[in-house]
Amino acid sequence: MINKFVRSVAEAMDGVKDGSTVIVAGFAQVGEPRALVDGLIEQGAKDLTVVHNTAGRGREGVARLIGERRVRKIICSFARSRGSVLFEEVYARGAIELEIVPQGTLAERIRAGGAGIPAFFTPTGGGTKIAEGKETRIIDGRECVLEQAITGDVALVEAWRADRWGNLVYRDAGRNFNPVVASAGRLTIVQTQNVAELGELTPEMIVTPGIYVDRIVHVPSGDPPVVIS
């Protein structure tokens, strides 16, 4: 019987190696696998390349991972977030490498990674600094930039419901990067708010089929924090 559930976050994060590329899903604290990132901090892997939409916020999660000097390189679209002090401190000291990527290109590079497309041309970034040092080509009269796929040694995902095969559904805007991140990990680890019996998630409902998922841990962490603006 296939059962991808593990009993703890520690078990979920077991075996992550130093030097790994880790893709972390989530957008604006919604659908963000915070328990898994905390688990990665506990687990101890270092010299990581982290792929995430931002360089972290405040002193939690990806920001804390950076603050603890465990990240060699961050690939993100937005390095300046409210209270992203840890990244700015470490970056100012030259202790982290930054690759800044337009957000749509970031999502597509991850999608391509999961879909076996090694690279693609996109008009995004044509004629800008983003194109510097990259192969470009004029296609239909527009400068397009060759962008490389991203795959993760590890992909971290948050789902709303999961069954034991790893079929996943997401809640509201918690979907965001999660389905593409789930597809792009050699080891895809999911934290889920709720557990479903096999068959409860109907074929039409399932957003991420379990084929992409390796390990699941049940973390009923509740609603994401409400943003006070």
Partner 1 sequence: MTNWKPWSREALAARVAQDIPEGWYVNLGIGIPTLVGNYVPPDREVILHSENGVVGMGPAPSPESLNPWLVNASRQHVTLVTGASYMNHADSFGLVRGGHLDLCVLGGFQVAENGDLANWSRSDNDRAPAIGGAMDLAVGAKRIWVVMEHTTKDDEKRILERCTYPLTATACVKRVYTDLAVIDVTERGFVVIDTVPGISFDELQTRSGAELHAG
Which residue, 81 or 191, has its beta carbon nearer to partner 1?
A: 81
Helical H runs in 71-122? 85-92, 103-115
Cα–Cα dist 119/108, whole Å: 10
Residues in CB range of 156: below 8 A, 6 or more apart:
22, 23, 24, 25, 33, 36, 37, 40, 181, 185, 189, 191
CB of 10 to partner 1, least distance (A): 27
The contact mask relative to partner 1 for 175-194 (x = CB under 8 A, - = no) is xxxxxx--------------
- 174 touching partner 1, by CB under 8 A: yes
Helix, strand counts (H, E) of the chain:
6, 11
Which residue, 27 or 165, has its beta carbon nearer to partner 1?
A: 27
Nearest to 182 by CA among 155, 159, 160: 155
Cα–Cα dist 56/60, whole Å: 7
The contact mask relative to partner 1 for 42-81 (x = CB under 8 A, - = no) is -------------x---------------------xxxxx
Instruction: Work out whether strand 71-76 and strand 48-51 pair parallel, antiparallel, or are unpaired.
Output: parallel
> Of residues 75-134, which lie at the interface with partner 1 (CB under 8 A)?
77-81, 84, 87-88, 91-92, 98, 100-105, 107-108, 110-111, 122-130
Residues that bind partner 1 (CB under 8 A): 27-31, 55, 77-81, 84, 87-88, 91-92, 98, 100-105, 107-108, 110-111, 122-130, 142-143, 170-180, 207, 223-227, 229
